[in-house]
Amino acid sequence: MKTAFRLVLLAAIAALGFWLWTVLFPGPEKIIRQKIARLAATTTVDAHDSNLTRAVKVGNLIGAFAVAAEISCDVPELGSRTLSGRDEIRDTARAVLAGLTTLKVEFLDVTIHLGADKSTAEVSCTVRVDTGDKRDYGVQEMRFQLKKMDGDWLITRAETVKTLS
């Protein structure tokens, strides 16, 4: 009876140790998935958000990008545009968030492919955007390239994927 109790206790301690290890030291895929989720939360604004809240969100958004990051997007209503560097991304994000009353961004079907060196990753997902003034959602496929720099995963490139119409 003592042996069975000790084995159960040992198994419980091992399971708790494994769970604690995965919580304290998550794998790169989990970290990247959390980063993409935070990116969606950062770019989502409500009509009740103050200018200060929006400025903080822009600052948090910029923190997700590398210094030499590039965003290339092709939006059907607005055409194609390429942003290069954090400064241009910040200025554009500030103008967009100031010009919209509401913006809801969701990243769906996120798939992550780690590079062989485990310091690069490519993320493919579907982005759904609701600006509040339309009935339809803006839905497009996106691809992100991330690189691990100084212990943090930063976006080096983001682009919309041209799909067949």
Largest CA distance in the chain: 73
pTM here is 0.81
Contact (CB, 8 A) for 65 and 120:
no
What is the pLDDT at residue 59?
92
Q: How far is residue 44's CA from residue 93's CA, in Å, rounded to a whole number?
A: 11
Decide if pLDDT at 76 tops 80.
no
Which amino acid would we find at residue 136? D
List the chain domain ranges.
24-161
Decide if pLDDT at 111 tops 90.
yes
Residues 118-139 have pLDDT tens digits of 899 999 999 998 887 765 567 8
Reading the block at residue 87, the tokens are 């400064």
What is the pLDDT at residue 134?
66
Q: How far is residue 103's CA from residue 159's CA, in Å, rounded to a whole number?
A: 19
Check if CATH label 3.10.450.50 holds for domain 24-161: yes
Quickly tell me which residue has 């159960």 as its tokens. 8
What is the pLDDT at residue 137?
64
